Amino acid sequence: MSFDADMRKVTERYKTWANTAIITNDDFGAVDSLIQRHYDDRGRLFDELQNALKRDHDIQSPWDNLCDKGVELTDRLNNEIARKIPDGFKGLGMTDFYEGEKKAWQNCKSGRIGLIAETFSDIGQNNVEIYKQLEEDFKKAREDSQVIDEVCRATFSEFRDQARGVVGEVGGILVALPAAALPMIGKNLAPKVKQFVQSLIKGSSTVRELTKKKRAAREIISRNAELLVKAKDQIGDSAIRDILKRAEDIAGSWKDAASSDYKQDWEYVGKACIEILHDKAAPVTEKAKMLFDNMQPMYIEALRTSLITLYTDPSTLENFKGQLNDDMQKMLEDLAKENLVIATLRDSEPKRSADEQMKQIVQEINEALADLKTAIREIDEQMKV
């Protein structure tokens, strides 16, 4: 784009002035050449301003230098004209152009639009880095959750299998004759119960440890979700629009600083710069939308569903708890039946020994089961905090 509309007006007013002034042909030609050269120098500065604005970083410093050159260029033209025509632009009756032009260059510098333009690159880079980190954290949380799911599934499956094994062993004892059943309590049932109790104890510890890991994953996701909320105000698409609007206001103000008769080029320059900023903001806005429109809902959904309990699918834990309760109830009911069978026997040392063994079995199972239920209850309490 050629920015010479205002300088053409300067040339026209200069010729109009010369029609009624006393000036030699040489001086007229010299001043006209100065103005024509200013056309080109001024136009190059406007082009360089736009090129500076297209950069990602280090915009404001070269921008300031270009604006200073604009002021110097205007002063130099005035001084060189003054060598041929007393008082330079004032003598030509164009003080409005001279003072307005200098003010426009000064406002162009003081608006610090270069710093604003740099923020687009910074925001874009931040959005990329944040998205990458959040994506990695979310991926790891999901992977950790899957591992936890598998370990929990194996642990609860072991509970079920062993509980059913105990139930089966009790059933075998119940169908035996009372006298034949007594030795089976110590020989067959007690070892299976001991193995089952050890599994429950180990399972309680496993569940607590897995809950800590799941809780840690939830905390990371929770912190990142909070980060997204805070970051959206600073680097979200609405923040980008606000920054762009501020830059538009600054670029649009340059023409207002110039004289009313010489503002067309400044208006064009402002619009050209605004267009550049829109081009810079467009991909940054897309990155922001990708971050906040895609990632934020994923985090919110994870916190609302898959990270509110030990399992990714909250219903899975409830199913396991229900199945375990059913199996344990069946086991304890059968053990109670076994006690009734023992009670029908005449008092003897074998009966008393069997009775003690059964009491020990029931006590160990109840204690281990109580600890497991406590561990499961702690899951819900810790994950909800």
The answer as to whether 60 is a domain residue is yes
Q: Is the dihedral of CA 79, 84, 85, 86 positive or negative?
A: positive
Q: Which of 62, 78, 110 is the last residue of a domain?
A: 110
pTM: 0.69
Q: Which of 110, 133, 161 is the last residue of a domain?
A: 110
Residues 26-63: pLDDT tens digits?
999 999 999 999 999 999 999 999 999 999 899 999 99
Residues 172 and 184 sit within 8 Å (Cβ to Cβ):
yes
Structure-model confidence comparison of residues 48 and 224, the more confident one: 48
The answer as to whether 268 is a domain residue is no
Q: What is the DSSP string of 93-152?
A: T-HHHHHHHHHHHHHHHHT-HHHHHHHHHHHHHHHHHHHHHHHHHHHHHHHHHHHHHHHH
My answer on whether 30 and 81 are in the same domain is yes
The one-letter amino acid code at 197 reads: V
**Number of structural domains in the chain:** 2
Model confidence at 1: pLDDT above 60 = no
Residues 314-334: pLDDT tens digits?
677 777 777 777 777 777 777
Model confidence at 190: pLDDT above 80 = no
Helix 264-289 to helix 25-53 angle (10° resolution) is: 10
My answer on whether 90 and 153 are in the same domain is no
Q: Which of 110, 139, 173 is the last residue of a domain?
A: 110
The answer as to whether 272 is a domain residue is no
Q: pLDDT-derived band of residue 23, with 50, 70 and 90 as boundaries?
A: very high
Which secondary structure element, helix H or strand E, spans residue 301, and what is its range?
A: helix 296-304
My answer on whether 137 and 11 are in the same domain is no
My answer on whether 145 and 41 are in the same domain is no
Enclosing domain of residue 302: 121-246+283-384
My answer on whether 106 and 11 are in the same domain is yes
Residues 101 and 74 sit within 8 Å (Cβ to Cβ):
yes
211/209 Cα distance (integer angstroms): 5
My answer on whether 336 and 236 are in the same domain is yes
Residues 99-147: pLDDT tens digits?
999 999 999 999 999 998 999 888 888 888 888 888 888 888 888 888 8
My answer on whether 87 and 186 are in the same domain is no
Which are the contacts of 185, defined by CB distance < 8 A and separation ≥ 6? 173, 338, 354, 357, 358, 361
Q: pLDDT-derived band of residue 98, with 50, 70 and 90 as boundaries?
A: very high
My answer on whether 240 and 191 are in the same domain is yes
My answer on whether 182 and 208 are in the same domain is yes
Which are the contacts of 138, defined by CB distance < 8 A and separation ≥ 6? 221, 224, 295, 298, 299, 302
42/121 Cα distance (integer angstroms): 28
Share of the chain above pLDDT 70, in %: 93
